[in-house]
Amino acid sequence: MHPEMNDYNEDDQPYLSPQRDYSPSRKNSKKIKTLYLDISAGEASPSTLTFKKAKRPGANCANILVCITGVLNTLIGFFLLSMPLGVLIGGSKYELLGDFFTAGMSVFLAGGFLLAFCYIILMVAVCNRTKPRWKTALIAVYIFLLIVFLLEISTIGLTFWSHSVISSRAGSKQGDNVAANWLLSHRHQFANTTYHACCLASKPPYSGANATEVDGICTWPESTQIIKDSCAGTNVLVCVCENGPRKYEFSINFFLRRYLTYIASTLMIIASVLLAGLLSVYALMCSDGGNRSNK
């Protein structure tokens, strides 16, 4: 045997490290976040390297929602502006509705103008929100629209309450409830005044010179399909008058309840669109704040 073979030692063998598992099945427990490397001008040193997170995709969705809800709320504002404006211009046709109706139309007129004006300012402020002045305007208009939303919710509640009170039978009282009794007394007064003006002072059906002198509210039965169906074969204006004042008051109460339901439903739709606009603007401001904090 060769003499060098006697010097063999197992400890002198090279050490082979165990193979690591690089297979795709091995999962990394740490989540990898996508970062963009921003190298500022000058020599690339560790102090000049900054990392910025990618812009949140929610910001784009918020921008789209702000534009959509802004346009919708502006159109709603112009609608609320034009509707009472047309009624107030022809105010002589609705004298029987009294000052309460005129005040209500004035509120709708002011509300429509403020809603359209504020949302135009809001959309311009959103587009220029990086500027300090427009950012302040954005916050101010946002707070004002939030107050308008709360007032609108209160108006919806008041409308439903009025509907429940008007649903009471003619001549009924609400105990010590001063507000409900006041509303019932005005309901009775309105029905009585309308009956005398539309059924006694002017005889239906209104035609010729008689049609030009009659108040516009006297044609209210023609807009109520259920009352028209109950007077099948007879002119509905004649039908509601020939049954006497109590039956007339019952019919006009149904008319008032029906239109209060329409008003409440319309206000709920407007409030929903307004809330969607407020939430989209809030999401956009939160997205901008998150992006600044990640820089």
Taking the domains of the chain in order of start, what are their residue ranges?
Answer: 57-293
pLDDT tens column, 40-53: 444 444 433 333 33
Q: So what's the pLDDT on residue 91?
A: 59
* Residues 114, 197: Cα–Cα separation, whole Å: 37
CB atoms within 10 A of CB 62: 22
What angle (nearest 5°) sits at the alpha carbon of residue 157, between those of residues 154 and 159? 110
Distance (Å, whole) CA 92 – CA 194: 15
**Do residues 93 and 216 make contact, with C-beta atoms less than 8 angstroms apart?**
yes
The 10 Å Cβ neighbour count of residue 264 is 17
pLDDT score for 45: 41
- How confident is the model at residue 172, as a pLDDT? 65
Name all contacts of 164-171 with Cβ < 8 Å and 24+ positions apart.
166/253, 166/256, 166/257, 166/260, 167/253, 167/257, 170/246, 170/249, 170/250, 170/253
3-class secondary-structure state, position 114: helix
Cα 213 to Cα 202: distance, rounded to the nearest angstrom? 8
Residue 88 has a pLDDT of 73
Q: Contact, 174 vs 168, CB < 8 A?
A: yes
d(CA 221, CA 163): 19
- Tens of each residue's pLDDT in the chain, 295 residues: 444 444 445 455 454 445 555 454 444 444 444 444 444 444 444 433 333 333 455 567 777 888 898 899 999 999 888 888 877 776 556 666 667 777 878 888 888 899 999 999 988 888 888 888 988 998 999 999 999 999 999 999 999 998 888 887 766 666 667 888 888 888 888 888 889 888 888 888 777 655 666 777 888 888 888 888 888 778 888 888 888 888 888 888 888 888 889 889 999 999 999 999 899 888 888 877 655 555 5
What is the chain's mean pLDDT, rounded?
A: 76
pLDDT at 289: 64
- pLDDT confidence of residue 183: 86
Per-position DSSP letters for 155-218, written without gaps between them: HHHHHHHHHHHHTSPTT---TT-HHHHHHHHHHHHHHHHHHIIIIIISPSSP-THHHHHS-GGG
